[in-house]
Amino acid sequence: MPTDRSLLRFAFSLLLLPACADDPMDGDSTAETSAETAGLSQGESSSGDSSGDETDGSSSGGDESGETSGDTDETSGDSADTSGDTDETSGDTDETSGDTDDTSGDTDDTSGDTSGEPPAHTDPNCVDGMYQESLSANDVDLSDLFAAYQPANRVDFVMEALSRRYPIGHYIVEESSAQSGDDCAAEYVDSGFSDPEDPASLLRGTGTIVHECGHGLNLGMGFIESSHYVINDSLLLKCDRPETIGRGAIDGDEFSPAVFDDFYRDTYLVELGDQGFEMLLEETSQYVNSLATGYAFLDQYDDNSSTSARDGLLSFLWYVERYLYLTRNQYPDSYDALVGDPCWREAILTVWGRGWKYLEATEGLMTLGIDDEEILEALLNPTLLAEIQLVRDAHGC
């Protein structure tokens, strides 16, 4: 169904991290997988040689699934390694032509099963295919929450719903709040189309909360010397920040025409095109959370409402492929900084594998996608898929 994209972009401020294409940074990078990441809000997990002072940033940009189009303003801390704040306007688009009346019913379409075969387009013998996570449990009953709902308690309502259906999202929001000292859920609960009088609309907008709080959590751990990616409540990846070209270099490449109207291009490849790979992967990781949250509250959508949660994730996985292709062929220093580093290989493959778990689970769900089929076709270009295989090869898979 058609959508007026100009009315559905999100405006906010994001710290513009510098990017360069010089020699790779020295120092080892490591991935950490430990249940001790319960202390993530204090940034307790650390490794590698990048132990210098890190500037704590506030929550930083993203744009999110659910029914949100409101403006948010996020600013990160000042640092000598930064080049100023840049406005970012983008986001998951939503189509809404009526509120859903389904407020608590179970869905018969999906379940929270975590086992089974690895998702398509992953390697069962490599990091991406071996990644395990319980899918959002979108069949957990919420009828008691709806029965007791009061607008004044809407933050508690959303957080309890998250804890039941998407515990990872609940963890991310709580950790982000603990780290910053602010209530991250409260900051975004009224974003965009969320209506305090309509609790279902709040759940449709919960992707914004998780996505934005995910940015705040990761960047709040520090982003000058190293990059942090909270994948779930027991997996934190921390890699030395690479020296890479800006992601905007892929704009206008030979693969661009495959998507006629790339909704995310103007913001991420043009306005914020100077940001390097670390922020490209950061956005990709948060779009996994956006889709996972949309999947968790699938029963809160009906035929009159949809979100571009699938579009966002597919677009950023496509950007990652294109970035790897471009740097391998034209910017070898940037490519080596990523594919030559086991931590960055693991980060790329982990986000790739986690993303495909939710893409496979949501395949054919029209309420979670708008132009997703077109973007999926572009993503599955064999030339681009080969770039992910090269990362696997370098990782010894």
Lowest mean pLDDT of 51-55, 246-250, 252-256, name the range: 51-55
Instruction: Locate 158 and state its tokens.
Output: 């959303």
Q: What is the pLDDT of residues 98-156, one digit of tens each?
A: 333 333 333 333 334 445 688 999 999 999 999 999 999 999 999 999 999 999 999 99
Mean pLDDT (the chain, rounded): 78
Confidence of residue 171 (pLDDT cuts 50, 70, 90): very high
pLDDT value of position 215: 96
Residue in 305, 68, 73 with CA at minimum distance from that of residue 208: 68
Residue 235 has pLDDT above 90, yes or no: yes
Residue 251 has pLDDT above 90, yes or no: yes
Altogether, the residues listed in the chain come to a count of 397
pLDDT value of position 47: 35
Element (H, E) at 240: strand 235-240
Residue 290 has pLDDT above 70, yes or no: yes
CA distances from 301 to 65, 111, 145, 155, 195 (A): 12, 16, 17, 20, 14
Confidence of residue 74 (pLDDT cuts 50, 70, 90): very low
pLDDT value of position 222: 87
Residue 371 has pLDDT above 90, yes or no: yes
% of the chain with per-residue pLDDT over 70: 71
Distance CA 249, CA 377 (A): 22
Residue 170 has pLDDT above 80, yes or no: yes
Give the pairing of strands 85-90 and 10-15: antiparallel
- Burial class of residue 95 in the structure, from the number of CB atoms within 10 Å of its CB (0-12 exposed, 13-18 middle, 19+ buried): middle
166: left (phi over 0), alpha (psi -120 to 50) or beta: beta
Residue in 42, 32, 122, 120 with CA at minimum distance from that of residue 349: 122
Q: Which residue has the higher pLDDT, 146 or 24?
A: 146
Residue 331 has pLDDT above 80, yes or no: yes
pLDDT value of position 223: 84
Contact 16, 86 (CB under 8 A): yes
pLDDT value of position 181: 94
The H helix count followed by the E strand count for the chain is: 14, 7
CA dihedral over 167, 171, 174, 176, signed as positive or negative: negative
Contact 131, 357 (CB under 8 A): yes
Q: Which residue has the higher pLDDT, 96 or 150?
A: 150
List the domain boundaries for the chain.
12-83+120-394
Distance CA 19, CA 21 (A): 7
How many C-beta atoms surround the C-beta of residue 40 within 10 A? Answer: 23
Q: What is the pLDDT of residues 298-318, one digit of tens each?
A: 999 987 777 899 999 999 999
Quote the pTM value. Answer: 0.76
